[in-house]
C-alpha cells in the first residue's frame, strides 16, 4: 500500500501541498485546524500515512490509531480544554456524514457541545 494517495485532500495537507494551520505533530501524525469549525476549538488529527477511514486504520495499524488518539489528547491539553472537556469523533461512512476519505480524528471543545444523533430528523 502506498503511503499517500494522489487525489487525497489530507495527504496533500500532510505534504504541505495544500495549506493548513498546524496545531500539533508527531513523527506519524499531524494535527491542524478544521477549515469549517463546528466548535470554538475544532482540530483534526490525521495519520501521515493514508488509510481510508478509522475502521481500516484500526484493523491495519492499531498502534497508529492509538497514536492518533494520544495526539488528540495532547491537542486538548495544548488548547487548554483538557479540564473543561472535549469530544473526539471519527466519522465513518455516509450516515455519519463523512466527506474526506483519509482517516481523521475530530477534537471538539472550548464551549458546551450539543448532543449526538438524529439532527436531521424533524418528525
Write the DSSP assignment of 89-115 as a string of letters: E---SGGGT---SS--EEEEESS----
Stretch that binds Zn ion, among 60-68, 73-81, 97-105, 107-115 (CB under 5 A): 97-105
42 assigned to active site: no
**Min dist. Cβ of residue 100 to ligand AMP (A):** 4
Q: Tell whether residue 61 is a contact of Zn ion (CB under 5 A).
A: no
Of 13, 6, 92, 18, the C-alpha closest to 47 is 13
Give the active site residues.
104
Applying CB under 6 A, the residues found at the interface with ligand AMP are 9, 18, 20, 34-36, 44, 91, 97-100
Amino acid at each position: 500500500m502506498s503511503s499517500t494517495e494522489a487525489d487525497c485532500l489530507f495527504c496533500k495537507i500532510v505534504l504541505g501541498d495544500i495549506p493548513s494551520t498546524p496545531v500539533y505533530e508527531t513523527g506519524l501524525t499531524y494535527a491542524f485546524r478544521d477549515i469549517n469549525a463546528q466548535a470554538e476549538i475544532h482540530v483534526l488529527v490525521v495519520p501521515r500515512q493514508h488509510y481510508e477511514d478509522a475502521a481500516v486504520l484500526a484493523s491495519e495499524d492499531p498502534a497508529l490509531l492509538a497514536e492518533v488518539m494520544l495526539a488528540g489528547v495532547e491537542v486538548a491539553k495544548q488548547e487548554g480544554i483538557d479540564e473543561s472537556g472535549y469530544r473526539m469523533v471519527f466519522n465513518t461512512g455516509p450516515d455519519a456524514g463523512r466527506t474526506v476519505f483519509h482517516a481523521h480524528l475530530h477534537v471538539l471543545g472550548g464551549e458546551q457541545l450539543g448532543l449526538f444523533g438524529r439532527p436531521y430528523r424533524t418528525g
